[in-house]
Amino acid sequence: MVKSQPDKGAKGGAPEPVSEDEKDRRQHLRVTLPLKTRFLTSDGCEWSGTVTNISAGGAMVKAKYPPAFGQTVVLYIDQIGRVEGKVVRTEKDNFAVSYQRKRRVKRAKIADQITTAMHRPRRAGDRRSSPRIGVDAPATVYLEDGRVIECAILDISLTGASIEISPRPPLGMRLILGRMTAKVIRRHEKGIGVVFTGAADRMEEVIAEATDDAPTIEASGPNFAQPFGKKRARD
Whether the pLDDT of residue 67 is over 70: the answer is yes
Q: What local confidence, expressed as pLDDT, does residue 140 receive?
A: 92
pTM of the model as a whole: 0.57
Q: What local confidence, expressed as pLDDT, does residue 119 receive?
A: 65
Q: What local confidence, expressed as pLDDT, does residue 222 receive?
A: 46
Whether the pLDDT of residue 57 is over 50: the answer is yes
Quote the CATH superfamily of domain 20-119.
predicted glycosyltransferase like domains (2.40.10.220)
40-44, 61-65, 176-180, 203-207: least confidently modelled range = 203-207
What value does the mean pLDDT take over residues 47-54? 90
Residue that wins the pLDDT comparison between 78 and 28: 78
Among residues 143, 152, 134, 147, the alpha carbon closest in space to that of 190 is found at: 152
What value does the mean pLDDT take over residues 176-184? 91
Whole-angstrom CA distances from 26 to 83, 91, 114 are: 19, 21, 17
Please state the three-class secondary structure of 20-41 as a single string.
HHHHHHHCCCCEEEEEEEEEEC
Sketch the domain layout of the chain as residue ranges.
20-119, 133-211
Whether the pLDDT of residue 213 is over 80: the answer is no
Question: Does domain 133-211 sit in CATH 2.40.10?
Answer: yes
Q: Alpha helix locations (H) across the chain?
A: 20-26, 104-119, 203-211
Residue that wins the pLDDT comparison between 79 and 128: 79
Q: Please tell me if the domain spanning 20-119 has the same topology as the one spanning 133-211.
A: yes
Residue that wins the pLDDT comparison between 103 and 137: 137
